Structure formats: structure tokens, C-alpha cells
Amino acid sequence: MQVDTPLDTEVQFVKGVGPDRAAKLERLGIATVGDLLWHLPREILDLTQVVPVSQLQADTDQTVRGTVADVDSMQLRNGRLMTAVLLDCGDEILRGVWFNSPWILNKFWLGQDVLFSAKPKRRSGRWEMTHPRVQVLEDEQSAESGGGVLPRYSLTEGLRMDELRRCVASAVRDFAEFVPDYLPASFRHKHQLVPAVEAIRSVHQPQTVAQYEAARHRLVFEDLLEFQLALAERRQAWRNEGAGVSVPYTAKIDARIRRLFPFRLTGGQDRAIEEITADMSSGRAMHRLLQADVGAGKTVVAMAAMLAVVAAGYQAVLMAPTELLAEQHWETLERALAHSRVRRRLLTGSLAAAVRKSALEEIANGNCDLVVGTQAVIQQAVRFHNLGLVVIDEQHKFGVEQRAHFSTPGSPPHVLVMTATPIPRSLCLTAFGDLDLTLIRELPPGRQPVVTSRVLGPAARTKAWKFIASQLKEGRQAYIVCPRIEAGEDLLDDVSAEATFERLSRNELRDFRLGLVHGRLSTPERAAVMESFREGTLQAIVSTTVVEVGVDIPNATLMAILQAERFGLSQLHQLRGRIGRGEFRGYCFLFSESTTAEAGERLTAMESLSDGFAIAEKDFEIRGPGDVLGTRQHGSLPLRIARLGSDIALLERTQKTARELVDTGAFDTPEFAPLKQQVTKRFSQLFGVGQTG
């Protein structure tokens, strides 16, 4: 068999693997020796630091090992739920306790061998740990001798931990020496990084925790640095594409734009407009990400940017991921520009042929200043006369290629990417690492935090519906959000929008005027329902997530979200942002019968958190980048080993380092040639880095 390097050898030829285990390893994405060496431990078990219970010291972080002897939960007088796990540690019993965490019951079983880590306290003559970190020991780990630092790997069905450890050990012994080191020695010394071969050996076979951490640090640093270098090169390429459209922004233009808004802008909006207009007047193409919490007014900022471009004689386009969102943006612009001379067009896939043809002609000949649309605006038939600004809304629902579509050589337009779903800091540094960042954190004056409550069980459901009814009688309005339009086979209870509308009309809300709105209604039908709700003719509407964005009804103070565990935290926060926009306090009820650990953790977080940026971080921690950003559909981030949730400090450091290397030209020197070739190899197809012509 011919291979380019020993690391390309098929994994079955590693001593102790063979064809059968190779087939199992393939399910983990391991096909070659190199894949096996880069299948790093997901964590380590430090059995060297396990302390007998009799030797514990109060308020010092320590680890104990024991067997689960009892699991129980009880309701305390203050209303909190306490879950307790008793560990038989041989010499003594230790108790682990959790509060308001009912899902803990499902994590343990009698006879389970575990490690608890926390700062213990002595209570009632017994040692106790509150919310300890838990590591479950597999059967073979209980039997393994030595009690040292054990790596733990991701497994697949039919493959035991001890088997995989032996396979990795063989690969390390016979092939680690062939691992290339792309980082120059001087660079490694500057950043205190161990050589690659040493890192691979130590990460799989550490003698101490410190040795493991130094090895993993080196490998993660390189993984993130290569990715950040690709982003930095693309960022530089965009800046070097050619002179950007110059958009002057004078006090007179600013005053004309602000007159269109019947309210005073917040300090955050002012700063965002200042940053964006400074970019657009610099003579260099802007590539900026605008993030705002729900209700912070990012659309107003985008409108100001688009109108500044139009005032300078150029065209602007706003692209949304769905027709519904495009239509909502269009309605917002129509209201604001009702008495303006700005020529504007809505361009979506459902336009009649004649209307579409007319719109395309006006866009091409410059008789249209502002375009709002879906992906229809990037189809081949669309030709802009003098495009100056592209605004891409909810960027995480688009792929990288769609953002890059507008960045054509010659006279590239400015690009403003925006989202009302705050993005975790780690994802800003990766998925959007090639963009400059603008944040709007503050909300408009008068916005009150929404009271959020989880509704679990029949008694709580009855109480919640009675409260909603009492508020409706006082003149408030309510959203009832359902996970889907009609019943599905996987719904144990029929909480579809259609069924919920029928049930509430007959039962809990029978005394009130209800409406039904969802994505299958035609645009005029949806508009009619929402207008009736806006005018107060309807007191409540039952809907799907079509009300997630773009709806602003100050009198709507109530929201009930059914089967709330089916939604991500950021989406729940987005929905919750529809209420509490007026003078009255908002109330959000999260109906859920799920008792899973993830559901409990997420819905408890929603009760306690109101800041969208904190919620985004929590959502990311629980669900990971694929779900948070929608990359399950668009491809996960191309990182080999880094964990975006826990490696945030390294992300920031490698981004700064990568930008310095690229901006100073150091990355193009012979010393970094091997690293540059590696970056090109890994990312040329995704980002076009390293390609010419």
C-alpha cells in the first residue's frame, strides 16, 4: 500500500487494531494512523488526587471516589427541591446535594462507581458536597491498576475504553515521531508551546495533569491558530479587493434619517451607526457583524446605514432567510419611508412573473434604490446597477458562500451582517472571525424584565391559564406559541397550533377573542390576523414561531410557550422578547412536561437569565455550536480538537496572533512557509485562502 507519509497508513495496520476494530473506528471518523493520533481524549481521570473521605479538608477543592448507595429527593420548607446522592467511599459515607435540579435523579443508579469533585463541608457529622462535578467510571477503569492519569475517549458501539487506549498506545509508540511540526521553533518558544511530537505523546499518555494540559494546550493552540490564520487571510483579501464605495455621512444626512424615527435612539444605536458610517466613508469595503439583544433596535441601525448609502447615490439590499422575515422587514421599511422618495422593491421567490420582471429591470437600470428580499436577491438573474451596501439578516441561517456572494472584485459593496440572536463570544471569534464586531447591549428606555416561569404539572398549568385569563380581562394581550402547525406523530399531547386554538377557544380562553396565525397562511391572511391583534380586536393569538421576530405590540404582555423544551434557549429568548415592550410588565410561561436533564437545565436558565448574551453562552454550553448556529444544516466549524465553549481564552489569543502575523506580513516569510501550506491545505476549499487567480 502506497502512502504519502506514515500517518496516512490505514488504521487497521496499527498493532492491535486489525480489520474488525478498524471498522468500529471508522464510525468515529478514524481511517488512518493520523486520525487515531488526533482522536484526543475528551477528558482525563486524575486518580492520583483521589482523597479518602477520612482525610478531606473543608473548603478545599478535592476529589473522592465511591459507589452510589442511595438517591433521593425532597421538597424543602422554602419550596426548593433538594436531590441527594449518598456515596459509599469505603471508609465513610459522603453526600452530594443539588437544589432545584430534579433531572439529577436520572443520572445515577445504585452500584454506580463515580468521582465527586467539589469543596466539601461537614454537616451533621457527615461530609457533604454541593453541586459536585461528576465523572462516571467505566467498569474496566475500576479494575485498571496504577491509579494514575487515565485518558477518556469518545467511543462507539462495540468498542471498549481499554481497547481504544491500547490501540492509541500502539499508534503513539510506532508513529508519533512522524507528526509534523508546522510552528517555527522561535514561535513555539515565544508562546511557550511544547513540540508537536512531545504534545501528541503526552496528551495520550500523560504522567501528570500538568503534562496533559501543556500537551493539549499546544495542540489546541495550533488548531485554532490555523483556523484564525485562514480567517485573517480572508479578511485581508477583502480589504485588498479594491477601493470600497465611499459613503459620506454628514450631520445633514444624519438629521434627515433620524427624522424618520418617532423616537430617540439609544446610546448603543448611536455608537453602532457611528462605527458603521465611519467604515463606509473610509474608502475601504466594510465587513461588519452587528449583534443586538432582542428589542435593542438593530433594524433601525440597518435602516440608517441603507439610507446613508442611498443618499450617496448607491443601492442597498437587505437579505433575510425567509419570505416571512423579508415581508416583516419590508412592512417596517414601508411604514418608516411612507413619505420618502426612496424607490424600493420587495424581491422574493413567490412574486408573480410580471412583477418580478419589472423589479429586476428597475434594479438593473438604477431606478430602484433599496431592495428587500430572500435568497432571491443573489440569484444569477439579479443585476444591481451600483450596489453600495448589503445587509444580511440572521446570518447564522445562511452559509459562508452566501455571505461571500456579494464580495465581487473591483468595487465591492459594504457588507453588514446582523443578528438579533446574540452569538456566543467563541463563535464570534470563529464563524465570524473575519468580520469587525459591533454590539448593542442596551435596551430602549422603559423596557422591563419579563417574569419567566416554568409550568410543570396539571396544577401549575391550571394556575397559569387562570392568570393569563385574569390579565386578558384587565385589557392585556397574549401570544400562545406552539411547536408546530398541526399534530405530529412524535407529539404525545396535541399541542399543535391548530389543535391548541380549538381547545383554548372551547376551554381556558373561551371568553376571549382568539386568532390563529402560522406560516402556511397566505401573506394577506397573516397580515389580517396580526393587524387585528395590533388593533386590539383580538385579545390573544395562537401561533407558531412566525411571531419570533418583527412583531411589536406594546399591549402584548403575556406569552405561553407550549412544549418549551423543544426550543433552544436563544429562540425562547427571541420569542420572549415580543412581550413587555410597553408600560406593563410581561409574563412568560414555559409549559413543559419533560423531566430530562437538558430540558431542566435550559428552562431553569430561562427563569433566571434575562440578558440575551448570557443566554447565548448558556445555550452554547448546553447544546454546542451545531444547534446554536444551525450548522447541523450548514456544516460544523472545521476545527479538529478545539472546544469552543472552554477554549475561549485561546480563541482570543490566537485571533490576535493570527491577525498580527497576516497584517505585518510575517506569515508570508520562509519561516512560516510550512504553516502557510498547512492552512491552505485545510481551508482553501472553505475560504479560498492560499488560492490565486
Query: What's the CA gap between 612 and 591, in Å, rounded?
Result: 21
pLDDT at 632: 38
pLDDT at 693: 36
Query: What's the CA gap between 100 and 464, in Å, rounded?
Result: 20
Q: Give the pLDDT means over successive 10-residue stretches in the chain (693 positions).
A: 77 93 93 94 84 89 91 82 91 90 84 90 91 78 57 89 92 95 96 96 93 95 92 81 80 91 88 93 87 82 94 92 81 86 87 87 92 80 88 62 50 82 71 79 75 88 94 94 74 76 93 89 82 90 75 85 87 86 88 80 85 78 55 53 76 92 94 94 71 44
Query: Hey, what long-range contacts does 617-626 have (CB within 8 A, 24 or more apart)?
Result: 617/424, 617/425, 618/569, 619/424, 619/568, 619/569, 619/570, 620/424, 620/426, 620/427, 620/644, 620/645, 621/645, 622/569, 622/598, 623/568, 623/569, 623/598, 625/426, 625/427, 625/431
pLDDT at 180: 94
Contact, 579 vs 556, CB < 8 A?
yes
pLDDT at 614: 81
Residues in Cβ contact with 653 at an 8 Å cutoff, skipping those fewer than 6 apart: 221
DSSP line for 137-152: PPHHHHH-SS--EEEE
pLDDT at 615: 80
320 SS3 class: coil
Residue 32's identity, in one-letter code, is T
Selection from 582, 606, 477 nearest residue 534 by Cα: 477
pLDDT at 76: 81
Query: What's the CA gap between 624 and 629, in Å, rounded?
Result: 9
Q: Can you give the pTM of this predicted structure?
A: 0.67
pLDDT at 338: 86
